[in-house]
Amino acid sequence: MKPGDMIKVREKSKKLEFIHDAMRRVQGEGSNPWLKLDKANMEGIYVEAPARDQVHDEYNEQLVVELYSK
């Protein structure tokens, strides 16, 4: 992805319950500064790559590096 790219849920997927659950879990419109989110239309714009301190999800970075270095 590059800055300015739009991310959108397809029309037929908008009815899926797990999509609605994910939208409810998003804290607010400005919770991720690298993403402009429009929850009503289920779409967003990728603004910029997040800095490490902006990523709040828990993951093991070392495992990601190991996976992609194979």
Q: Which residues contact 47 (CB under 8 A, 6 or more apart)?
A: 3, 4, 33, 34, 35, 36
Count of the separate structural domains present in the chain: 1
- Is the entire prediction scored with pTM above 0.85? no
What domain range includes position 10? 6-68
Model confidence band, residue 18 (pLDDT cutoffs 50, 70, 90): very high
Please report whether residue 29 resides in a domain: yes
Please report whether residue 34 resides in a domain: yes
- pLDDT of res. 28: 64
Q: Are 39 and 29 within 8 A, CB to CB?
A: yes
Q: What is the pLDDT of residues 28-57, one digit of tens each?
A: 656 788 888 888 899 999 999 988 888 777
Please report whether residue 1 resides in a domain: no
More confident residue, 66 or 57: 66
In the block, tokens 């739009």 appear at 6
Q: What's the half-sphere exposure (Cβ side, CA atoms, 13 Å) at 55?
A: 10
Please report whether residue 45 resides in a domain: yes
